[in-house]
Amino acid sequence: MLLSNGMEKELIRVLGYEKFGLAPKEIPPFIRNLRAHAGFVETSARIHVIVSGPADNIFFECAIDGRAD
Q: Is 34:15 a contact under the CB 8 Å cutoff?
A: no
Hey, where are the domains in the chain?
Answer: 2-65
pTM of the model: 0.82
What is the structure's pLDDT at 30?
93
Report the C-alpha gap between 67 and 25 in whole angstroms.
33
Per-residue pLDDT of the chain (69 residues; tens, 9 = 90+): 999 999 999 999 999 999 999 999 999 999 999 999 999 999 998 999 998 988 899 999 999 999 998
